[in-house]
Structures are given as C-alpha cells and as structure tokens.
C-alpha cells in the first residue's frame, strides 16, 4: 500500500497562553504604540528588546516591523547610499537583494557551495568591489565565520548578518548575528518565533544603533528605549538621520516575549525532527545529504538536500510524485520563481553575471519546511516517501 502524508506544511503551533494573555492586556489598555505609556509603565516592546539583547549577548537591540526592514535599516545605518555596491549571497530569498535595492544599492552576488553557504573563495575574489557584505545565513546554513570575518576585516568590509533562519543558532559557540556589525532577524510566521510580521536588529555599535532607532521612527523619544545607547550618542546623530518609520508595536512584542524565552527548547525540537528526516534520507541513491560542519550549532526548521546531475524534467517529475503523496517540496533550480523560491538571476532589477558553479548547485537543490506541528512519526513517514520517489526516478534521472 502506498503511504500518504496528510499533514500541513504551513500550520504553525498556537501562540503560547502567556503571549495571548499579555496581548489581551495590551488590547484592553489601548496602548499599542510603543511610545504610548503611562507613568511607571515599561512598554512591552522595550522589555522585548532588553530580553533579546540579553539572550544574544548584544549591547543593543531594536524591534522593528519586519526582517526586511531590519536589513534596510542596518544598511542605511552602515552608510550605504544610492549607487553603492553591496556584496550578498547568490543563494538567498528575495528580501535580501530587495533590501539592497530599497536603499538604492547594487547587489553583487557571491556564489554558493554544495554546503549551501557563501563561497568564500568567490568572496575573496570579489571583496574589493564593495564596502559592505549583507551575509544571508540562508535556510540556516552558517559558513566558516572565522574565515569570512578575516576576509572582510582585512579588506575593511562591514558585515551585516541576515539571521532570518538562524535565530538561536551559532558558529563555534558565537551566536548568529554577533559576528558582524549588525545582526538582523525576522519574526514572520515561518521563522523561529511568530508574530505574523516583525524583526530585530542587534549590535554593539552605539552610533549605529542610535541611527537605527531614529530611522525606525522614534520621534525623539529614544530615552524610552532600554537596550539602547546613552542620550549623548543620540545627540550626535538626531538631526542628520531621517525618520523612516518601521517600529514594532506592543501587541506583537507581547506575543513574542514568551516565545523568545522558550526559544532554546524549540530549537531542540526542530533539530530532533531534522535528524529523523536526515537519517531517513541518508544513503538514498541519487540524493545527497547536506552535511553540517562540526562548528555549526544549527537550528533546522527546514531541511535541504541535493539531486546532483538530475535533468530538470526528472526533478519536476520527482516533485509531482512527492506532492501527490502529500509532501510539499520547493525547488531552487526552476527558471521562474515559485512561492518562496527564486534564483539570483530572477531579480531583474539587479545585474548578474552567469555563475556556472552556483547554477549547478541550485539545479538540484530541494527544500522542505519542518513545522513544529509535525511529530517524529510524521517526519519518518515523510522521509520514506521522499526516499521512495527518489529511488523510483534515480535511474531515469541520470540518463
């Protein structure tokens, strides 16, 4: 009998009861705006920033409206101006080059390895073409951060980390987001904490954070921030930094605070699901597992694998076979962007040169979400279905 999976790949867990109660409290007060407080009250957003800064070990934190806004703010606060080139990953999602375009910058794409991380050899060749690297830890894969920072530091290049998929992860014990000047995070529904939309910006750079807070729309109420620089730092930049409003509100902050507190446990749950699928797919003919480096403390809320040298028609047939059995997979090798997938040459507002090595990796790259609504048994079943469909097509795919 053919096995079928009937679960949903887009169903999230409910908001914790503590978050629901706190959100109701905010709604009953009517004070949703982060700066609308009464005497003696600390806004939920200010408390959330303080707690996330402490959890990541950062000096400063700003809660914002989205992960994309966090990246544009980091770019602006780092001095990127219209026409400036910004290095970034060829393997990423649309909000990353979109953030560069939003500030008038020009993306320069750097290749991807079969480990699904930025190609550091390619980065070395291109490092002199820009002053900023917007590094995407795409789908939770973290490169050799010691080597990357050495390359960038030697060239005087500022690193901004896109940590949308690595909240709670680390490289060699240093949290994702703590290597570069800024770390940017997302709290969109499909990320590691869920407020529908939202994001964070963290840094140890006091002037950079002062600029970011004013950019976010503080209306000179920056003294109501707790995980923020001193008043004196704001005085240096407040008249030359525009308001480009993108604040987080107290309702979303209330929803997020218990989720941030519970993040370490949730990360362990994701990794347990990941390991079941990984082991179920290991040694499947025609399918390659993406091995994780020893130094990478990953959080696997999704899983990726490769179908090396498969013809596009065979990949599409494989995807259809899995979909017919209830398993939703995404493919990064398609000529047209579909859903959340896209390639560096999909973004026609940004120039790109052909990248044969990167194209070869993306041609066989398959991606799958692992929501925490899945059980261990669900993941074992999903792995069996993927394995069956891959084996059934492997011989034909290689012809």
Residues 361, 339: Cα–Cα separation, whole Å: 20
Inform me whether the pLDDT recorded for 3 exceeds 70: yes
Q: What is the pLDDT of residue 397?
A: 61
Q: What is the pLDDT of residue 331?
A: 94
Mean pLDDT across 55-63: 98
Report residue 37 as tokens.
């407080």
pLDDT in tens, 245-276: 999 999 999 999 999 999 999 999 999 999 99
Q: In whole numbers, what is the pLDDT of the chain averaged over residues?
A: 96
Residue 257: name the closest of 6, 93, 17, 96 by CA: 17
pLDDT in tens, 270-301: 999 999 999 999 999 999 999 999 999 999 99
- Confidence tier at 385 by pLDDT (50, 70, 90): very high
Q: What is the pLDDT of residue 396?
A: 67
- Confidence tier at 337 by pLDDT (50, 70, 90): confident
pTM for the whole structure: 0.96
**43-52, 84-93, 217-226, 388-397: segment of lowest average pLDDT:** 388-397
DSSP tally for the chain: helices H, then strands E: 13, 14
Residues 213, 230: Cα–Cα separation, whole Å: 12
Report residue 3 as tokens.
């096995």
Q: Which domains can be identified in the chain, with CATH numbers?
A: 17-261 (3.40.640.10), 263-397 (3.90.1150.10)
| pLDDT above 90 coverage of the chain, percent | 92
Residues 380, 399: Cα–Cα separation, whole Å: 30
Task: Find all residues with CB under 8 Å of 303, minimum gap 6, and list them.
Answer: 274, 277, 278, 367, 368, 370
Residue 46: name the closest of 232, 186, 226 by CA: 226
Strand partners, 366: 305, 331
Longest dimension (CA), the chain: 73
Q: What is the pLDDT of residue 339?
A: 73
Mean pLDDT across 13-31: 97
């Amino acid at each position: 009998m053919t096995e079928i999976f009937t679960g949903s790949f887009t169903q999230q867990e409910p908001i914790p009861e503590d978050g629901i109660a706190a959100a109701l409290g905010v709604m009953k007060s009517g004070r949703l705006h982060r700066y609308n407080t009464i005497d003696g009250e600390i806004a939920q957003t200010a408390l959330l920033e303080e707690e996330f800064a402490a959890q990541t070990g950062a000096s400063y934190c700003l809660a914002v409206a989205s992960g994309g806004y966090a990246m544009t703010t980091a770019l602006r606060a780092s001095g990127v101006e219209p026409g400036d080139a910004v290095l970034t990953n060829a393997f990423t999602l649309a909000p990353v080059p979109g953030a560069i375009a939003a500030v008038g910058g020009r993306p320069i794409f750097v290749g991807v390895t079969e480990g699904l991380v930025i190609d550091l050899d390619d980065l070395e060749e291109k490092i002199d073409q820009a002053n900023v690297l917007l590094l995407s830890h795409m789908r939770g894969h973290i490169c050799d951060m010691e080597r990357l920072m050495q390359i960038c530091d030697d060239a005087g290049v500022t690193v901004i980390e896109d940590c949308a998929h690595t909240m709670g992860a680390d490289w060699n014990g240093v949290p994702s987001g703590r290597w570069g000047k800024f770390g940017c995070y997302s709290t969109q529904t499909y990320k590691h904490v869920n407020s529908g939309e939202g994001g964070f910006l963290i840094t140890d750079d006091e002037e950079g954070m002062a600029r970011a807070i004013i950019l976010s729309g503080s209306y000179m109420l920056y003294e109501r921030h707790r995980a923020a620089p001193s008043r004196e730092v704001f005085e240096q930049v407040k008249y030359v930094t525009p308001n480009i409003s993108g604040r987080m509100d107290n309702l979303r902050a209330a929803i997020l605070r218990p989720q941030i507190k519970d993040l370490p446990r949730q990360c362990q749950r994701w990794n347990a699901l990941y390991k079941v699928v990984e082991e179920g797919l290991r040694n499947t003919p025609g399918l390659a597992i993406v091995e994780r480096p020893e130094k990478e403390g990953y959080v696997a809320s999704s899983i990726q694998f490769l179908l090396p040298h498969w013809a596009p028609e065979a990949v599409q047939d494989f995807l259809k076979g899995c979909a017919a059995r209830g398993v939703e997979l995404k493919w990064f090798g398609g000529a047209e962007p579909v859903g959340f997938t896209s390639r560096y040459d999909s973004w026609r507002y940004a120039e790109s040169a052909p990248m044969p090595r990167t194209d070869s990796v993306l041609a066989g790259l398959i991606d799958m979400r692992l929501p925490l609504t899945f059980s261990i048994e669900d993941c074992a079943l999903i792995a069996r279905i993927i394995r069956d469909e891959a084996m059934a097509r492997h011989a034909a795919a290689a012809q």
